[in-house]
Amino acid sequence: MTNNSVHFLLNNDVVSIENIDPNLTVLQYLREVQFSTGTKEGCASGDCGACTVVLAELDGDNNEQLHYKSINSCITFVGNLHGKQLITIEDLKEQGKLHHAQQTIVDNHGTQCGFCTPGFVMSSFALHKHNNTPTRAQVLEALAGNLCRCTGYRSIIEAAITSSIGVDDDSFAKHYQQTVQTLTELQKLPTPVLTGNGHHFIAPKSIDELAYELVREPKATLVAGGTDLALSVTQHLASIDKLVYVGNVAALSTIEETDSEIVIGSALPYSKFIDTLHHYYPDLGDMIERIGSKQVRNNGTLGGNIGNASPIGDMPPALIALGATMTLHVNGVERTILVEDYFVDYKKTVLKPSEFIKSVQIPKPKTGQILKLYKISKRIDDDISAVLAAIFIAQKDQKISHVRIAFGGMAAIPKRAFAAEAELQGNCLTKDTVAQAKQALTLDFKPMSDVRASEKYRMRVAQNLIEKCFVELQSQTIATRVVNYA
């Protein structure tokens, strides 16, 4: 049973949309359909955060809580709003009085040209909804996807770090229960479908429904967060005929732990699994904090990052090094493969027509196993890696008993460094073996030059990262990384 419209809360009003092209982004919807121009277009590619809005969605064990998340409205398709509350800059002022997230920016002289400001306000608003007294690090994490060209950020940081204790009884808090109730009702509606301008969108609610939809329409485009896919529409002016949204399939948005594995649903956004992974693999948690921005991590998913098979996706090298597996599903039939075996060639995978990624299984570390991850990019925040190195290593009796090394950015696909591994496996970790492993990398990879880095730099850094790993394993007291140096 389907329902020919998408329903969501626009602040406190239930809105249903139909006959709208599902290629429309939330930003276009706000500015061109609602004539709400407070939300700005800075780049239409999810890189600047000027368009940041907040979505509140049901969360918690019984779906009785609201989770407020900042997203880039410029790369979120309007269908993704179904069953959620959309909060924009226009909704924050209450009876003419500025919201805490707004007043603190005024008080700290945090606006100059003001064009990025609505985005910063919304990011700060979302942060404070879950954290009244954020630390500097938490503020930076929440605002790293918002670019400001005028202020130099100091004033904005001071604004966002200002405690909101005692001023958190805003209109959203007052309407909390009512919002939960309305969203619960919207969630009960039949599967939403949106058709407009000859293009279609459907948001299946179950795995069976999703599988059926993909069998029926093998050429349909799967969309999760859309943080990459939407660029084809906003930057390359493409139109997608049939979008199948996976974010409404509850069974794809889970995270579970077994004795030996962490099982992550393919449609679960990064922000929902970062803490678990950080617990088992601190480097992985730290690295995920540098994937895109908060807005991207709130929408972007593991399934999407693997699924689009980019040579510069940050998760695949880590998953390959860890020996993670993934479960693929087609029409009721499932198979489980190594993530490593998923990638065939540039943007080519083993995924069959109508097949989709259901989950990813990450092994928990065994005693002695350490994952070292290094993301090299021009900028620390919100940048795409020139090189990503993942080294999963264990030593026993002074010898390397286990090693798997994978790199991103070094080849057309994320790929193991077999030759380098061979130099290390079973040997003592010494300067000589490290030098040999570094040398062996030239057999593993022939990187290319592009706007991010030269081939020469990629190779040299990849080699040096093996050396860095060695230095770190030798001594845990010496600081070796600038990213988190304080």
Which residues in the 117-146 window bind other proteins by CB under 8 A? 117-118, 121, 136, 140, 143-144, 146
Shortest CB 130 distance to other proteins, Å = 19
Nearer to other proteins, 89 or 326 (CB): 89
- Closest approach of other proteins to the CB of residue 319, in Å: 23
End-to-end CA distance of the chain: give it in Å, rounded: 56
The encoded tokens of residue 63 equal 């779906």
Please pick, from the candidates 237, 333, 353, 476, the single residue that binds other proteins as defined by CB under 8 A: 237
How far apart are CB 234 and other proteins at their closest, in Å? 8
For position 75 contacting other proteins by CB under 8 A, the verdict is no
The alpha carbon of residue 230 and the mean position of all alpha carbons in its chain are separated, in whole angstroms, by 14
Q: Decide if 20 contacts 28 (C-beta within 8 A).
A: no
Nearer to other proteins, 261 or 467 (CB): 467
Task: Confirm or reject binding of residue 50 to other proteins (CB under 8 A).
Answer: yes
Specify which residues 202 forms β-bridges with: 193, 244
| Residue of 22, 42, 316, 414 that binds other proteins (CB under 8 A) | 42
Tokens 């993934």: give the residue. Answer: 326
Contact 118, 49 (CB under 8 A): no
CB 374 → other proteins: shortest distance, Å?
8
- Residue recorded with tokens 């939407």: 230
Select from 11, 12, 98, 448 the one that contacts other proteins (CB under 8 A).
98
H or E element: which one contains 338? strand 333-338
User: Residues 156-159: contacts with CB within 8 Å, 24+ apart?
Assistant: 156/105, 156/108, 156/110, 156/120, 158/108, 158/110, 159/104, 159/105, 159/107, 159/108, 159/110, 159/124
Stretch that binds other proteins, among 108-116, 243-251, 265-273, 424-432 (CB under 8 A): 108-116
Stretch that binds other proteins, among 11-19, 84-92, 208-216, 247-255 (CB under 8 A): 84-92
Helix axes 154-161, 117-130, angle to 10 degrees: 30
Question: Residue 433, CB half-sphere, CA atoms under 13 Å: how many?
Answer: 16
**Smallest gap from residue 440 Cβ to other proteins (A):** 18
Residue among 1, 35, 198, 476 that touches other proteins (CB under 8 A): 35
How many Cα atoms occupy the beta-carbon half-sphere of 425 within 13 Å? 11
Does 15 participate in binding other proteins (rule CB under 8 A)?
A: no
Of 37 and 336, CB closest to other proteins: 37
- Of 112, 138, 401, 425, which one interacts with other proteins (CB under 8 A)? 112
Binding mask 386-415 for other proteins (x = CB under 8 A): x-----------------------------
User: Is residue 229 close enough to count as binding other proteins by CB under 8 A?
Assistant: no
Give the interface size with other proteins as a residue count (CB under 8 A): 86
Residue 263: CB atoms within 10 A of its CB come to 16
Which residues within the stretch 138-197 sit at the binding site for other proteins (CB under 8 A)? 140, 143-144, 146-158
The answer to whether 330 and 240 have CB atoms below 8 angstroms apart is no
102 lies in the binding site for other proteins (CB under 8 A): yes
Select the residue interacting with other proteins from 1, 165, 333, 479 (CB under 8 A). 479
Cβ distance 262 to 217 under 8 Å?
no
If residue 8 lies in a helix (H) or strand (E), which one and from where to where? strand 6-10
Q: Note whether 461 binds other proteins by CB under 8 A.
A: yes
- CB-count burial class (<10 Å; 0-12, 13-18, 19+) for 322: buried
457 binds other proteins (CB under 8 A): yes
Comparison of 21 and 209: residue with beta carbon closer to other proteins: 21
Q: Judged by CB under 8 A, does residue 480 bind other proteins?
A: yes
Nearer CB in complex with other proteins: 50/360: 50
Residue 92 or 360: which CB sits closer to other proteins?
92
Indicate which single residue of 378, 396, 399, 446 sits in contact with other proteins (rule: CB under 8 A). Answer: 378
Q: Is 94 in the site for other proteins (CB under 8 A)?
A: no
Task: Determine the Cα–Cα distance for residues 434 and 469; give it in Å rounded to an integer.
Answer: 9
| Residue 272 CB neighbours (<10 A) | 20
Strands 65-72 and 221-223: unpaired
- Select from 321-329, 332-340, 407-415, 445-453 the region that touches other proteins (CB under 8 A): 445-453
52 lies in the binding site for other proteins (CB under 8 A): no
List the one residue from 58, 371, 376, 459 that touches other proteins (CB under 8 A).
376
Q: Which pair of structure tokens corresponds to residue 257?
A: 């732990």
> How many C-beta atoms surround the C-beta of residue 345 within 10 A?
11
Q: Could you give the count of Cα atoms lying within 13 Å of 397 in the half-sphere of its Cβ?
A: 4
